[in-house]
C-alpha cells in the first residue's frame, strides 16, 4: 500500500503543544462540516492536544445541526452560540476568551486554507502574533480600496498602529498574547488593533486565500467602524480640533484687524454682506466639525460607562471527548 508522503512527514513532526482554532460561523457559511472534519484531521496528525472552537454568529439551523452531529463523532469540538449576531471582531473575542490552547489560531474557513494553520503555529512559536497577509489584493465595494488605504495610513501616521493593507483575520497568537488582548476592558474591541498595541513580537505570514477575502461592507458601515477605532484608540482627533479651533480663531482675529484697518483708511467703506456671510459660514462649518468629533467621543465614553458585555453566550455544546489527551493540564491565567 502506497503511503502518503505528506502524512508521513507530518506524523514525524507531531508536537506536544495545545493548539486552539477559533472558527466563526456566519449566515453565509455553507457546508462547514467537511471543512471542520478536514481541520480535525490536520490537528490530530500534527498536535498531541487541540480544540476546535466554533462560534455560532448567526449561522443557519441546518448548518448548526450538521455541526452538532459531529459532537458525537469527533473529539475536541466546542460550539459557542451567541444570543444574537454580533460584528466579526466581537465573535472572535467570544472564541478567544474561552480558548485554553498554548497557541490560538483564528481562521475563516470560507476564505483561508486550513492546511496553512501548521505554518502559522510553527512560526508562532518564535513570536507572539503571526498576522496573515493575503497575496491577493482585497477587493470590495466601490471606493473601499481607497478608503482602506487612507484609514491604514492614518493608523500608521497618528495611532502608531501598522496594519498591513492586505491583513486578514487569519492569525495565530501565543497564550500570553491572548491573555493580554482579552484583558482589555474596552467596549469597542478590534482584535487586529489590540494585537499591535500589546507590544509583543509580531510577524506577518503571506498566503494565498481560497477565494478573494473581499469586504462587502457598505460605506456607512466602514465609516462607522473607522470612527469607532479612531475615537477609541487615540485622542488625535481632539488634538486636531484644538489646532483647527486655534487656526479659526487666528483667521478671525486677522479678519477683524483687516476690517478695522479698512475702516480707518476708508471711512466710506460699507459693510460687505458677502464677506460677513462667508465668515459666518466658515465658522459654523468649523463648529459643526468640532461637534461631530466631540459627539463621537461622548458616545464612546457613554458606552464605556455602561460596562455591559459585548456578547452573551446562550448555549455551549462540547464533544463527548473534550481533550485529545485527558491527562493534559494547561495554565490559562
What pLDDT is recorded for position 52? 95
Q: What is the mean pLDDT of each run of 10 residues along the chain (333 residues)?
A: 43 79 88 90 93 91 87 90 87 93 93 94 94 83 69 80 87 94 77 86 92 66 72 74 77 73 68 66 78 75 62 64 56 46
Q: Which residue has the cell 482585497?
A: 138
What pLDDT is recorded for position 3? 43
What pLDDT is recorded for position 31? 81
For strands 202-207 and 129-134, give the pairing: parallel
CA torsion 228→233→236→242, rounded to 10°? Answer: 70
Contact between residue 172 and residue 104 where contact means Cβ atoms under 8 Å apart? yes
Alpha-carbon distance of 199 to 204, in angstroms, equals 15
What pLDDT is recorded for position 161? 81
Alpha-carbon distance of 289 to 286, in angstroms, equals 5
The structure's pTM equals: 0.74
Report the SS3 class of residue 53.
Answer: strand
What pLDDT is recorded for position 30? 80
CA torsion 242→243→248→253, rounded to 10°? Answer: 100
C-alpha cell at 299: 458616545
What pLDDT is recorded for position 5? 45
Contact between residue 183 and residue 85 where contact means Cβ atoms under 8 Å apart? no
What pLDDT is recorded for position 146? 72
Closest C-alpha among 175, 189, 186 to residue 332: 175
Amino acid at each position: 500500500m502506497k503511503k502518503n508522503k505528506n502524512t508521513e512527514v507530518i506524523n514525524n513532526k507531531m508536537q506536544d503543544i495545545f493548539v486552539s482554532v477559533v472558527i466563526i460561523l456566519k449566515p453565509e457559511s455553507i457546508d462547514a462540516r467537511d471543512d471542520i472534519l478536514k481541520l480535525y484531521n490536520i490537528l490530530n496528525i500534527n498536535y498531541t492536544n487541540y480544540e476546535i472552537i466554533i462560534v455560532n454568529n448567526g449561522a443557519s439551523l441546518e448548518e448548526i445541526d450538521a455541526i452538532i452531529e459531529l459532537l458525537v463523532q469527533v473529539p475536541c469540538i466546542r460550539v459557542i452560540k451567541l444570543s444574537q449576531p454580533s460584528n466579526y471582531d466581537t465573535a472572535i473575542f467570544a472564541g478567544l476568551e474561552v480558548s485554553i490552547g498554548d497557541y490560538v489560531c483564528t481562521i475563516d474557513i470560507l476564505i483561508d486554507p486550513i492546511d496553512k494553520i501548521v505554518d502559522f503555529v510553527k512560526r508562532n512559536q518564535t513570536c507572539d502574533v503571526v498576522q496573515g497577509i493575503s497575496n491577493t489584493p482585497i477587493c470590495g465595494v466601490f471606493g473601499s480600496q481607497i478608503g482602506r488605504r487612507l484609514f491604514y495610513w492614518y493608523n500608521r501616521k497618528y495611532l502608531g498602529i501598522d496594519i498591513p493593507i492586505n491583513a486578514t483575520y487569519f492569525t495565530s497568537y501565543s497564550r500570553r498574547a491572548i491573555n493580554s488582548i482579552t484583558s482589555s476592558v474596552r467596549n469597542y474591541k478590534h482584535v487586529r488593533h489590540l494585537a499591535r498595541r500589546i507590544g509583543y513580537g509580531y510577524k506577518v505570514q503571506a498566503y494565498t486565500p481560497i477565494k478573494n477575502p473581499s469586504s462587502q461592507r457598505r460605506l456607512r458601515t466602514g465609516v462607522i467602524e473607522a470612527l469607532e477605532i479612531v475615537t477609541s484608540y487615540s485622542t488625535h482627533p481632539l488634538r486636531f480640533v484644538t489646532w483647527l479651533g486655534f487656526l479659526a480663531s487666528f483667521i478671525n482675529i486677522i479678519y477683524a484687524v483687516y476690517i478695522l484697518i479698512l475702516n480707518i483708511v476708508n471711512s466710506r467703506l460699507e459693510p460687505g454682506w458677502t464677506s460677513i456671510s462667508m465668515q459666518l459660514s466658515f465658522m459654523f462649518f468649523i463648529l459643526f466639525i468640532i461637534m461631530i468629533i466631540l459627539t463621537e467621543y461622548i458616545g464612546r465614553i457613554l458606552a464605556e460607562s455602561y460596562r455591559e458585555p459585548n456578547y452573551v453566550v446562550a448555549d455551549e455544546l462540547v464533544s463527548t471527548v473534550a481533550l485529545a489527551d485527558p491527562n493534559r493540564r494547561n495554565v490559562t491565567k
